[in-house]
Amino acid sequence: MTRVLDRAAIAAALADLDLVGRIEAGFAAYSAGRCNVPPVGELLMETGEVHIKYGCVTGDPTYLVKIASGFPGNPARGLPSGNGVMLIFSQQTGALETVLLDEGHLTDLRTAIAGAVAARLLAPPDIPAIGILGTGIQARLQARELRAVVACRDLVLYGRDASRRAACRADLAAMGFVVRETDDPAEVARACRLIVTTTSAEAPLLSAADIRPGTHLSAMGSDTPAKQELDPAILARAARVIVDSRPQALLRGEAHRALAVGAIDASCLDEIGEILLGRKPGRRAADEITVFDSTGLAVQDIAIAAAVAERATAAPALARSLGGD
Amino acid sequence: MTRVLDRAAIAAALADLDLVGRIEAGFAAYSAGRCNVPPVGELLMETGEVHIKYGCVTGDPTYLVKIASGFPGNPARGLPSGNGVMLIFSQQTGALETVLLDEGHLTDLRTAIAGAVAARLLAPPDIPAIGILGTGIQARLQARELRAVVACRDLVLYGRDASRRAACRADLAAMGFVVRETDDPAEVARACRLIVTTTSAEAPLLSAADIRPGTHLSAMGSDTPAKQELDPAILARAARVIVDSRPQALLRGEAHRALAVGAIDASCLDEIGEILLGRKPGRRAADEITVFDSTGLAVQDIAIAAAVAERATAAPALARSLGGD
C-alpha cells in the first residue's frame, strides 16, 4: 500500500515535528560512516536539468530516492524553476511506502534546518542581531527555523534589490523579527554575531576585515564549485571551519574555494556530525570566529523524509492511500 | 497535478494499447541517437538492491525515472522479490505528471514486447511451433505478446521443474496455445523455428548442433555479464546477430559471452532499431538462423510508460489525481 502526501498533507505533518533533532541525527549518522549514498544521478536536457539523489542510513527501516529539477524557463510560465519529489521505500522489502509530492519544499526546509543546527552548536552566547544575506525563500526559512534555537529577534537583512528586500522584510516581520534593511553586507557584519548567507553569489559578499570576533557565519548558498559568498580570508581567520561532509567540501562550496587559493588546509575541516558525535568540540570560546559551510547532504533528505512519513503514519488522515494487491 | 495509477488502473490502460508499435518507435529512437540515457544508478544494501534508470527521448513531452528493486528475502515473506515504480515528468517544466505503481509489471511487459518486435522482424515465414524455454512470468508474457505478431499456436515448453512446467502449460493453454512439455531443450530446437529463451541460466541450454536452418532465437533471459542461455557457436553460425544496444551488448548478454570467447566479431552486431529505421535488413532468407539478444533498454521503459500515461489521459477515470497548490 503506497501513501501519497501532497503539499498540504506534508505541511500538516511538519507542524509538530522536531526536525532539528532529526537532521542532527542524520549528520551524526553520516559522520559515523553509517550512510550508504551512491553518486548523484544527473539528467541534462535542453529544457532543464534533473538530479537524482538516493541512499539510506544502513539499518534504518527505509531508503530514499529524491528527484529534484531546475527548469530555467519555468518563471516565464509563472512556475517556480525548482521542483522535486521524494520516494520512501522499505529497506526490508523494497516496497514503495510513501510518495512525498513536496515540489522541492523539503529540500529547502532541510537546508534551513542545517543552518539552525549549526547555530545551536556554534553561535556565540550573546547575539545582538542575526544577519541574513539574501532575500529569497532560503532567507525566510533560515530565519524561521533559527527561532527554535536562538532567542534573538533583531535581524539585519541584506539584499541588492530594494523591492525584493522589502517583501522579505515583511515576511520576516510577520515571523516576529524586528528587521533593519541594508544594501551593504559590511553593515550586517558590523551589527551581527550570527550571520547566515543564502545567496547564489559567485564572488565574496563579505570580507575578512568586516567580521567581528565572536561571530558565527553559516554559508548556506554556495553548493557548487562556482558559487562563493565568503572571502577565503574569513575561513583563514576563523578558529573553526565546520563542513557537512569533508569529501564534498573538497569539491564545492566555501571550503573548496578557500582550499583552492591556499587560504586554509584541508586538515582544519571538521564535520558537523563529528561535533554531534562528541568527537570534535563545538564553539570553545565566546570570541572565536566560526564558519559552517553547507553543501547539502542526501542524509538530510533521508532524515526529513523519514520524519514526515512517520508523522503521517501516526496521523493517517494526513495521507491518501492507494491500494496495491 | 500529479496522477497516480495503481496496478488495476495500469491494467485498464494497457487493454487497448498497441505496445508493439510504441516499443518499435523506442528502439528506432535509440538507434537514431535521440535517447538521453545516463548510466544506471545503483543502491546496494544487505537486504536487497535497487537500480535507478532514467532518461528521455530528446524532444519528447516527458522524461522517465524508473526505480526497480530485487529483495531476495521477499519470497519467504510471501512477496515477489522484484518491485518497481515509474515516474513520468514533464520535459518542459519538470513537473511530476504521473506515478505508475506498476510493481515491476511494466518492465516485465516491455521485455515481452521486445520479443514480439524481434519475432515480427526476424521470425521465418513458416513456424511449425513456437519454443519457449523457462516457466516463469516472462515465459507466459512472451507467449501472450507473440500472439499479436505470429499466427502459430503450437508451442513446446521446456522447464526443469515438472510442477512449475505444468502450471505454466496451463496458463499458456488458457491463452489459446496447444502446448507440449519437455525437459530436453534440444527437443525444442528440433520442433520449433521460433524459440524464445526466458531463463536465468548461467550456462548454455541450447547448442549449435541442435538448431535447424530457418530458426529465429530471441534470447531474453541473459541481461547480466554472468547469465548465458545460448552456446556461443549458435551466434557464430547465425547469419544475423541482432542486439538492442551495441554498446550494452559488449558488456552483457549472449553477444558479450560470444565475443569473449572469440566466436563472433563485434562488427557483425546490428541493432534492432537499425532494422526499424531501414538502415539494416531484417530476415533476408527463409533458411537463415537469426538471433536477437535482448539486454533491456531504458527507452523501452520510456516508451511503455508514456503509452500508459497517454492512455490514462484519454480515459481520465483510470487515474486518481492528487492536487498541487
pLDDT at B314: 81
The mean per-residue pLDDT over the stretch B19-36 comes to 97
Partner B contacted by A102 (CB < 8 A): no
Question: Residue B52 is nearest to which of A7, A52, A103, comparing CB atoms?
Answer: A52
* Cα distances (angstroms) measured from residue A97 to each of A218, A322, B206: 35, 10, 42
pLDDT tens for each residue of B165-194: 999 999 999 999 999 999 999 999 999 999
Residue A321 pLDDT more than 80? no
Contacts of A316 (CB under 8 A, 6+ apart): none
Nearest CA in chain A to B80: A93
E strands of B92-227, at which residues? Answer: 96-100, 130-133, 154-158, 178-182, 194-197, 202-206, 216-219
Three-state SS string over B227-260 comes to: CEEECHHHHHHCCEEEECCHHHHCCCHHHHHHHH
- Beta bridge pairs of residue B88: B64, B98
Residue B323 pLDDT more than 50? no
pLDDT at B322: 55
Interchain proximity A322–B50, CB inside 8 Å? no
What whole-number percentage of chain A has pLDDT above 90?
91
Question: Residue A38 is nearest to which of B41, B92, B322, comparing CB atoms?
Answer: B41
pLDDT at B318: 62
Q: Which residue intervals of A85-132 are DSSP H helices? A: 105-122
**Which of A203, A183, A207, A78 minimizes the C-alpha distance to A134?**
A183
Interchain proximity A93–B77, CB inside 8 Å? yes
Partner A contacted by B75 (CB < 8 A): no
Task: Kindly indicate the confidence band of residue B321, based on its pLDDT and cuts at 50, 70 and 90.
Answer: low
Partner A contacted by B61 (CB < 8 A): no
Domains of chain A (ranges, CATH numbers): 2-106+299-322 (3.30.1780.10), 111-297 (3.40.50.720)
Question: Residue A6 is nearest to which of B38, B48, B324, comparing CB atoms?
Answer: B324
Helix (H) or strand (E) holding B55: strand B49-57
pLDDT tens for each residue of A244-296: 999 999 999 999 999 999 999 999 999 999 999 999 999 999 999 999 999 99
pLDDT tens for each residue of B94-133: 999 999 999 999 999 999 999 999 999 999 999 999 999 9
pLDDT at A323: 44
Q: Quote the Cα angle for B214-B219-B220, to 5°.
A: 140
Contacts of A293 (CB under 8 A, 6+ apart): A219, A222, A235, A241, A242, A243, A244, A249, A253, A254, A255
Interchain proximity A69–B91, CB inside 8 Å? no
Cβ A197 vs Cβ A215: under 8 Å: no
Q: Tell me the backbone φ, ψ of residue A249, rounded to 5 degrees.
A: -65, -20
Question: Residue B93 is nearest to which of A77, A85, A324, comparing CB atoms?
Answer: A77
**Which of B71, B70, B54 minimizes the C-alpha distance to B62?**
B54
Distance CA B195, CA B229 (A): 12
What whole-number percentage of chain B has pLDDT above 90?
91
Residue B263 pLDDT more than 80? yes
Nearest CA in chain A to B69: A94
DSSP A224: S
Question: Residue B41 is nearest to which of A6, A54, A70, comparing CB atoms?
Answer: A54
Q: What is the pTM of this model?
A: 0.89
Joined grid coordinates for residue A188? 550586517
Residue B324 pLDDT more than 50? no
Partner B contacted by A93 (CB < 8 A): yes
Partner A contacted by B32 (CB < 8 A): no
pLDDT at B121: 97
The mean per-residue pLDDT over the stretch B242-262 comes to 95
Partner A contacted by B80 (CB < 8 A): no
From B130's Cα to the closest Cα of chain A, the distance in A is 32
Complex prediction ipTM: 0.88
pLDDT at A291: 98
Q: Residue A89: list chain B partners with CB under 8 A.
A: 50, 67, 69
Question: Which residues 226-265 of B have a C-beta within 8 angstroms of A?
Answer: none
* Cα distances (angstroms) measured from residue A250 to each of A20, A34, A70: 26, 21, 24
Cβ A290 vs Cβ A242: under 8 Å: yes
Task: Kindly indicate the confidence band of residue A20, based on its pLDDT and cuts at 50, 70 and 90.
Answer: very high
Task: Kindly indicate the confidence band of residue B313, based on its pLDDT and cuts at 50, 70 and 90.
Answer: confident
The mean per-residue pLDDT over the stretch B248-273 comes to 95
Joined grid coordinates for residue A81? 524553476
Q: Residue B95: list chain A partners with CB under 8 A.
A: 79, 83
Distance CA B311, CA B48 (A): 33
Mutate which: A97, A99, A102, vs B, most B CBs within 10 A: A99
Residue B48 pLDDT more than 90? yes
Mutate which: A58, A69, A102, vs B, most B CBs within 10 A: A69
Question: Residue B56 is nearest to which of A45, A79, A87, comparing CB atoms?
Answer: A45
Residue A129 pLDDT more than 90? yes
Interchain proximity A83–B101, CB inside 8 Å? no
Mean pLDDT score across all residues of chain B: 94
Q: Residue A44: list chain B partners with CB under 8 A.
A: 36
Q: Cell 545567496 belongs to which residue?
A: A199
pLDDT at B315: 75
From B98's Cα to the closest Cα of chain A, the distance in A is 11
Q: Residue B56: list chain A partners with CB under 8 A.
A: 43, 45
Nearest CA in chain A to B74: A93
